[in-house]
Structure 1
Amino acid sequence: MPREFAITSPTPTLSLESDGRGEIAFTVSNVTDRAMHAGARLLPAPPLKPEWLSIRGKELRDMPPGATEVFTVDVHVPPGTPPGPYTFQLVVADVDLPDERFAEGPTIAVEARAAPLPAKPFPWWWLVVGGLVIVGGALALFFGLRGDGPVPETCPAGQLACEDRCVDVQADPKHCGACGNACGEDQDCSAGQCVRGACPEGKTRCGDVCLDTAKDDRNCGACGATCGAGLFCRDGRCQCPSNLTLCGGRCVDTNKDVQSCGGCNTRCGANQVCEDGRCICTGSLTLCGGRCVETDTDEQNCRTCGVRCGPTQQCLDGTCKCGTGLTLCGGSCVNMQTDERNCGRCGTSCATGRVCKSGACVTSLPAPCGLGQILCPCTGTCISNAMCSKLCASGVQPK
């Protein structure tokens, strides 16, 4: 399932030094196409305590698309802490939308070393022989009365030497979590902590209550791990209902969600809706080249996608038509009142020396006539007045 951040660590297990200190680096990458303000926080699982963990440097960092940052976590488990299952995770989220844009890093197991065994009593050899005999007798009488043996030198893995025996400090009510830490009369020792009554099988103690972390929405998989809005806990993991998909921290219906149509991050464009996992146009609009257009009026997609009207045409009612005062002739819109190649009607061309005026071919106005001549209306040429009268009387018409 895609996330906004990819979080990796060099190892799933962190071994601490003898003083209980250690560090581990997480590599965090922004795998989206958006810039985000990344904020990091630590999610410890009990019994690991939050004060044992700290992030080195800035917890909030600006991360452009594809950027990578390294978050170093310092761990300090106090000396004497019993060895046990200590785990934590690094969670990184966009502080602008932390519930939608986030990612959880791998679970890191912290290996805390057992506290050093108590030193063996050192004999005081410089005491006089009489003192040794008295002390030895007293010790023998003391152990004889108690019925206990000497302090063991080594204990099995997971146990500590407390007083004169090896005990499991994870479960011993007299030495719970550490030697000498006795639980109360109404308490049991569970996971190194004194609790009121042991939890039944399949339940985990979170505070003073026993919970089923496989199903509890507020403690899913671990105490304090809360599922977000719309999520529920199943098998110890926060999941969406069966008919929804987790996208960016939200449960969405990919059959209807315009931000995740058919799959996460598949967004529908403007004037589109998501139906059955496909982006479709609304109303009477048609999808052409990734845009929703009105094919009755769109000059680039007139009636059908890809049908373009001419440079002087308009798309009207799904048909490429000429504007007011123009007529379609040979694929071009012309003004038949003035077009010399389509004068009055398509294909009617005016002869040389004639122009189209008011839809008719007329003689173009020549240069002014010379002395003694007039522009004869019958011939359209400059001739004498007498000749013009004669020609006009004979019925000559302009060509």
Structure 2
Amino acid sequence: MSYDASTTQAPSARTPRIVCAPDSFKGSASAPAAASALARGARAVFPDSSVAELPFADGGEGTLDALLAVWGTRPRTVDTVDALGRPASAAFGVSPDGSTAVIEAAQANGLPQVSDVPLQPERADTYGVGLIVSSALDLGVEEILLCIGGSASTDGGVGIAAALGARFTDASGRPIAPGGGGLASLASVDTSGLDERARSVRWRIAVDVDNPLTGPRGAAAVFGPQKGADPESVTVLDTGLGHLAEVLAGSAAEAETFATTPGFGAAGGIPLTLSTLFGAEVVPGSTMVAEAVGLTAALAQADIVLTGEGSFDSQSLGGKVVAAVRDRAPASARVIVVAGRVGLSPAECRQSGITAALSIAAGPADLDTLSERAEALIEDTAAHACALVAAGMG
């Protein structure tokens, strides 16, 4: 189905200003592709309107693509290693003014890159992420935006710091084994060889979970199993992270703070070492991306805001893309969600500040079919939503 602008009654009051700010539809459409599809649907109904495309992300998968689309810059490719130390290549982005680098850690330590071999949860590390950071520092950036979702590692960020010159040694002065399995033998951290550039730049780490470092809700217990950790490995990794916190801390109280800080359990504990050695700031991913793309300013004059994601449910309202867009939209704007699946009732949507949520599935359909036609279905659903708005405004 497609919409013909000539058959649609335009609003008599005025031509609305429209902003399209979706997340990616995982496995179906990137955030830039989804934003473009929403915009095409909006223009089919409001051909004379101002329609802005602002692909968005919550700091996880797809954040690099979203920022590059907004910045209008191309990705840079560098040589690195994967979570098992094998040669790999990775992409990262730099803002138009050259001041900010955005890095998706999973480009180097992600699960997909090591899916060709049995998972090694105690061996996997983040060293390759540090190599990407070093390449960004070579360009003279002043800020690192590090997106850390989708990791295969649980090393507390030790690998990143090691790639940047820190030495993590055992009681004999030998480097500890790579990965979370080596953390229990850590005796000291030597920062004398750290790349000074890594200390002088601003670090922000995007997280989309609030799990602490250790314990039943910690990095190893909650996320270790999906990285291949059995109960024994979970214990090894959890103990190792706790020991790392003790070595890095200046006191027992500070170690306890490290272990219980919300968000420090993200991506195998990456925030722990980076916040300690580099003063990295841990922020909700959607907040970080919103600032980077200027979301608040873009939405300031919007009359209609089209956002969306693959699955819209109660979790979407707790710090994800839809929540970030809703919170920054003007009170007078109509905020409409277009999604592959809608798990909230109309009443729940209204109570949460969402005008309406529409699924791209017009009827029963399997995931493969929806994925194959995702962009066309997003476009048609956006046009349908705008036609309803036009009818109400006319």
TM-score, normalized by length of structure 1? 0.24
Larger helix proportion of the pair: 2
Rg (Cα) greater in structure = 1
TM-score, normalized by length of structure 2? 0.24
